[in-house]
Structure formats: C-alpha cells, structure tokens
Amino acid sequence: MQVAPSDLTNGHSFNSGLENTAIPAAEAAVAFAGQDPALPAAASAYADTAGAVSGASVRRGFSLPRSGAPAAPHWRLSLWAFLGGSLAIAATLLLGYGTGSPWLMAPFGATCVLAFALPDSPLAQPRSIIGGHLVAALTGFALLWLFGADGWVQAVAVGLSIALMQQSRTLHAPAGATPLLVLHTQPSLEFLLTPVLSGSVLIVLVACLFHRVRQPGSYPKYWY
C-alpha cells in the first residue's frame, strides 16, 4: 500500500486506510518515513502509538469502568475462608447422618460466608447467627399459623423478620431466608431445634475453634 504524505495531516483518512488493510500501523508509519525523509519525527511518533490503535477501531475509546469495590483480600485469607466454610458444612452433614436429623439448611451456606470471610462483622457474631435464625424461624411459624403460606405472607415474613432482628440486635442477613424456608416446607416445630438451633450453634462452635487456630482472639468479638 502506498501512503501519501498528505494522509499524515488527515488522521481520519490515514486511520481509515489502516483499518481497511492488513498492513499494521507501525509498517505504514515506516513506509511513510521512507517516502518522505523530511518527516521522520512524525513517522516515529506515529509508530510509537501504533500499539494503541493496532488496527482495531472498535476498541478505540473503550475502557472498563473503574470499580468502587474493595480490593480482594490476600489469597491466604481466601484459603482460610474456603477451609472454614467447608469444615462447618461438613460438620453439619456428618452430625445429620449420625443422628438421623437434619442439621443443615440452605441459609447456613450464607452464614458461613459471614462467619469465615467477614468474622469481624456484627452480622457474623454468635448472637446474630444463633439469635437471627431463631427470630426469623419463629416469625415464619407465627405467620404460617395465622395466615397460611400465600405469597403476600412470604413477603411480610421477610420484612417482619428484618425488623424484629434489628430490634432484638440479632441482625443476620442469611436469616432473611429462614422464614421463607419455613413457609415453603411447612415443617413441624422440631425444625426450631434441628436444624435451626443445633446447626447455627454448631457453625458458631466451628468458627470459634477455626479462628482460634487462624488468629487467636480474633473471633468472636462478643458473645451476647
């Protein structure tokens, strides 16, 4: 491809030529320098920026938005969180198999996120883990007895659980799913003992032992 010197003064025309051919921008700049030795500096400058354009016009001006999310923790902390969450859920499963009663429910997975990845959070303390699940489960049972399990009851159950956890200082985000579990499965009152109470107590005990090994004295921040 022959590149006319006038193309350098018309950036749009020059770039269009590069986009429609297989010749890289750097080669075009060198070719121009060979035709017009009077402008080697301009050709050199253009060659230096060739990597930025690289012939892909669809990428021109594109950049990922800057994230406001906090930086990722050190990979060792993520490894500790992985081990802690795995051990806690394994413990509930083993005791469930051994006793013949359920010690595990789905919201405990989210509880483990707080207990092992954010152990300093107020939502991860024993009062919140145990109390939050109990308050939310009782709320679900009360509304189930009074109104059934219609859709509007489920919506009210979640909102009421949030408010009651706030007022009892037992706010625990994963417990927001507990009343839904009660309303959908409609279990017996034994559900309050296993898995709600037994499982949440077990997760707290595993978290206490685990964090004592990881960093003694780091968890819990308070019990009650």
Q: What is the pLDDT of residues 148-207, one digit of tens each?
A: 999 999 999 999 999 999 999 999 999 999 999 999 999 999 999 999 999 999 999 999
Model confidence at 65, pLDDT cuts 50, 70, 90, reads confident
Mean pLDDT of the chain: 83
Q: Is the pLDDT of residue 86 over 50?
A: yes
pLDDT of residue 64: 75
Model confidence at 61, pLDDT cuts 50, 70, 90, reads low
Q: Is the pLDDT of residue 24 over 90?
A: no
Kindly report whether the peptide bond that precedes residue 195 is cis, defined as omega within 30 degrees of 0.
yes
The residues, ordered by sequence, that sit 6+ positions from 109 with a Cβ below 8 Å of its Cβ are 85, 89, 174
The mean per-residue pLDDT over the stretch 28-44 comes to 46
Looking up tokens 């060659």 gives 47
Least confident range from 37-41, 113-117, 132-136: namely 37-41
Contact 17, 3 (CB under 8 A): yes
> pTM value?
0.72
Q: Is the pLDDT of residue 54 over 60?
A: no
Q: What are phi and psi of 24, to 5 degrees?
A: -60, 155
Percentage of residues of the chain with pLDDT beyond 70: 72
Print burial letters for 13-31: b (CB count within 10 Å at least 16), e (below 16).
Answer: ebbebbeeeeebbbbbbbe
pLDDT of residue 117: 97
The mean per-residue pLDDT over the stretch 65-92 comes to 95
Looking up tokens 């989210």 gives 110
